[in-house]
């Protein structure tokens, strides 16, 4: 889960750093984890962060099939519907 703040424009370089410094540091990381990416934003008001074109191109080169944004409230609601605690 990539944490995006309100009004952030997400760049290719930010995604590269996230992959290098967070994802690839996890010994269980696999390329398949990049197929679906969730961008988390804590704030439910204001404009949704945007993926800049270079970031979209990078996701496509990673063979990411789907991506979307979720708020903390969405995350808690989904977890509760599954009877689980939210990690967000």
Structural domain that includes position 44:
2-81
Phi/psi-derived region of residue 34, left when phi > 0, alpha when psi is between -120 and 50, beta in every other case: alpha
The whole-number pLDDT of residue 1 equals 64
56 assigned to some structural domain? yes
Position 13 scores a pLDDT of 92
For residue 88, being part of any structural domain is answered with no
Q: What integer pLDDT is reported at residue 2 of this predicted model?
A: 72
* Residue 38 in domain: yes
pTM score above 0.85: no
pLDDT tens track, the chain, 88 positions: 676 765 578 899 999 998 999 888 988 988 888 998 888 876 666 777 889 999 999 999 999 999 888 877 777 777 777 777 666 6
| Whole-number Å distance between alpha carbons of 39 and 44 | 13
Strand partners, 2: 39
> What count of Cα atoms within 13 Å lies in the side-chain half-sphere of residue 1?
13
- How many domains are contained in the chain? 1
Query: Does 75 map to a domain?
Result: yes
44 occurs within a structural domain:
yes
Angle, in degrees to the nearest 10, between helices 12-21 and 53-61: 40
Estimate to the nearest angstrom the gap between the alpha carbon of 75 and the chain centroid.
12
């Amino acid at each position: 889960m990539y944490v995006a703040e309100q009004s952030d424009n997400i760049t290719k370089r930010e995604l590269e750093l996230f992959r290098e410094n967070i994802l690839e540091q996890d010994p269980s990381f696999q390329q398949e984890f990049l197929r679906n990416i969730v961008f988390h934003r804590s704030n439910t008001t204001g404009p949704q962060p945007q993926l800049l074109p270079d970031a979209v191109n990078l996701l496509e080169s990673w063979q990411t099939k789907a991506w979307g944004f979720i708020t903390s409230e969405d995350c808690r609601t989904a977890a509760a519907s599954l009877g689980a605690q939210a990690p967000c």
